[in-house]
Structure 1
Amino acid sequence: MLRSRFDRTKTGLAGLWVAVAISGCANVGQQGASADNAAASAQAAAAAAQASDAATQAQQAASDAVTTRTVTTTKTIHYRVKRGDTLARIAQKNNCSVKDLLAWNRMNASAHVKKGQVLRIVTQQTVTTTVDANGNPVAARAPASSADSRAMAAQTRRAAKSVALAWPAQGVVVEPFQAGETRGIEIAGNAGDPVRAAADGKVMYAGTGLNEYGSLIIVQHNKDFLTAYSHNRKLLVKTGDIVHQGQQIAEMGNENNTRVSVLFELRHDGMPIDPMPYLPQGRG
């Protein structure tokens, strides 16, 4: 059922691009028919030049108003000790030091951990956000060059046996993947947290047309693999955009969901699969 909805979405998008292409051809024909009217052409050229100048000035003003803001947040997660765990092994898994583990849990240097014991782990996340003059986040992306677009078009048509992913968000995985029961993993966070592209690709869909997903982005990485990011508060990319791994594409939210999180899906040939084996163990 879910696969068919994705298929319908892609078919609808393809139809949209065909309609745009046909419209463009019709416009070319109309321009050719009116080419003998020199005065109208001159007026149109002057108006276009004025519009271009105005657009350039507006773009420059917007660029001058854009600034960056860096915010560091602290999060505490809880780790339940498993059989065979040691302080050193737990520290390695969570990208921290044994000294930090001891301090966070008020343990002395000779302490040992036991199976089932719960440890506090404190993480810091530094996020740099691009904001406009009013302090509103803006998408920090440059228009894709024609060469970049051609390369991505070739990549999305290329068959691939795998894909290397980066974490799309910081936070705790509160819902793991379960084949036949869930579509992906759910990563909890705070409203407005950045949601990032897990790999280079092309945005095949960005919108709210699939109700159960809320505000959804679908990125095609190659012929066989795509990722989806659901329940966003705000989308920062649009259909057709080229995105790169680590680029912010949305703000985390709770659209059509009971908690603030991103539902992250990895699909192979349209079918949902567990993304965990494709993600790095540490959080970058």
Structure 2
Amino acid sequence: MHAGRLTRNPFRLVICLAIGLLLAGCAGSKPVGKFTGSVYTVKRGDTLYRISRMTGTSVKNLASMNGISPPYTIAVGQRLRVKGAAKTAASKTPSRTAKVTPSSAVPTSSWPPVGQRCWRWPTNGKVILGYSTSEGGNKGIDIAGSRGQPIYAAGAGKVVYVGNQLRGYGNLIMIKHNEDYITAYAHNETMLVNNGQSVKAGQKIATMGSSDAASVRLHFQLRYRATAIDPLRYLPPQGSAPKC
């Protein structure tokens, strides 16, 4: 499902893919039902990952059978084959589909070294939910705080998404820092930046809230080449300035 209108820029596919992965992480936090038919009709809030879990068909096979290419966009009402042979390519030259590796399958040894880039805490507070590499686990950290508490950019970059179209994340901001890094800030009360805006490290970008969350908190993600990595591994001790 298309996740709202993004800014038009050369990195659109990268951002769409990152949003798709965010949705995959979110889908794992809620119970997923079962489906036994051979054709599934897409409903509001569905992602290819969620449908994969519900039908028992791998994301790779779903994409292949239905001719879906990255960033794996699906639409409400779309009918998807969930069983049977893969769709045959119309041309003689087979199309090549990029493989998306879920975060849980990416070894930490492939993560960037600590200190490669400086990061700041996006806000102060107790970490009430940590990062998990398990399938469907939390792909960031949740920091508790008070309503209206400032949220800051963890690093300098360009805002590539401001909106609330992603189910489970409420008011969400995404910042692209370079070709490798994206940070995400969810459940905001108010958002103080716009799509395409350049921000400095430590700049106030939002206030903390509980949009699409059970309590007031910030859900913060750090993504390296579209893979969610543990922010606590790269952030300095809380209350301290980066040393790198």
**TM-score calculated relative to the size of structure 1:** 0.45
Paired with 1:13 and 1:182, the residues of 2 have a C-alpha distance of 27
Match of 1:277 in 2: 233
Paired with 2:234 and 2:11, the residues of 1 have a C-alpha distance of 32
Please tell me the residue identity of whatever aligns with 1:167.
Answer: W
Paired with 2:162 and 2:5, the residues of 1 have a C-alpha distance of 15
Q: Percent identity?
A: 37
The answer to whether residue 225 in structure 2 is matched with residue 231 in structure 1 is no
Please tell me the residue identity of whatever aligns with 2:178.
Answer: N
Match of 1:197 in 2: 153
Match of 2:127 in 1: 173
Please tell me the residue identity of whatever aligns with 1:14.
Answer: R
Deviation at 1:269, TM superposition (A): 1.1
Match of 2:223 in 1: 267
The answer to whether residue 202 in structure 2 is matched with residue 208 in structure 1 is no
**Cα distance per residue 1:67-119 (max 9 Å; x no partner):** xxxxxxxxxxxxxxxxxxxxxxxxxxxxxxxxxxxxxxxxxxxxxxxxxxxxx
Q: Is 1:192–1:251's contact at 8 Å kept on the other side of the alignment?
A: yes
Name the CA shift for 1:282/1:254 in 2 (closer, same or farther; >3 Å): closer
Deviation at 1:211, TM superposition (A): 1.8
Paired with 1:220 and 1:9, the residues of 2 have a C-alpha distance of 17
Match of 1:136 in 2: none
Paired with 2:123 and 2:179, the residues of 1 have a C-alpha distance of 24
Match of 2:197 in 1: 241
SS at match of 1:13: coil
SS at match of 1:276: helix
What is the alpha-carbon root mean square deviation over aligned residues?
Answer: 2.6
Q: Which is higher, the Rg of structure 1 or of structure 2?
A: 1
**Cα distance per residue 1:201-230 (max 9 Å; x no partner):** 000001111121100000001101110000
1:1-284 aligned within 5 A: 12-14=6-8, 162-180=116-134, 181-284=137-240
Paired with 2:150 and 2:11, the residues of 1 have a C-alpha distance of 29
What 5-or-longer segments of structure 2 have no aligned partner?
A: 13-111
Q: Is 2:140–2:228's contact at 8 Å kept on the other side of the alignment?
A: yes
Q: Is 2:124–2:238's contact at 8 Å kept on the other side of the alignment?
A: no
Deviation at 1:17, TM superposition (A): 11
Paired with 2:9 and 2:143, the residues of 1 have a C-alpha distance of 33
**Cα distance per residue 1:11-45 (max 9 Å; x no partner):** 94327999xxxxxxxxxxxxxxxxxxxxxxxxxxx
**Cα distance per residue 1:118-163 (max 9 Å; x no partner):** xxxxxxxxxxxxxxxxxxxxxxxxxxxxxxxxxxxxxxxxxx9743
Q: Is 2:6–2:160's contact at 8 Å kept on the other side of the alignment?
A: no
Paired with 2:148 and 2:186, the residues of 1 have a C-alpha distance of 14
Q: Is 2:4–2:163's contact at 8 Å kept on the other side of the alignment?
A: no
Instruction: Report how many aligned residue pairs link the two structures.
Output: 137
Match of 2:89 in 1: none
SS at match of 2:233: helix
Paired with 1:246 and 1:199, the residues of 2 have a C-alpha distance of 7
Bigger share in helix: 1
SS at match of 2:147: coil
What 5-or-longer segments of structure 1 have no aligned partner?
A: 19-159
Name the CA shift for 1:231/1:11 in 2 (closer, same or farther; >3 Å): closer
Name the CA shift for 1:196/1:224 in 2 (closer, same or farther; >3 Å): same
Please tell me the residue identity of whatever aligns with 1:163.
Answer: R
Deviation at 1:280, TM superposition (A): 0.4
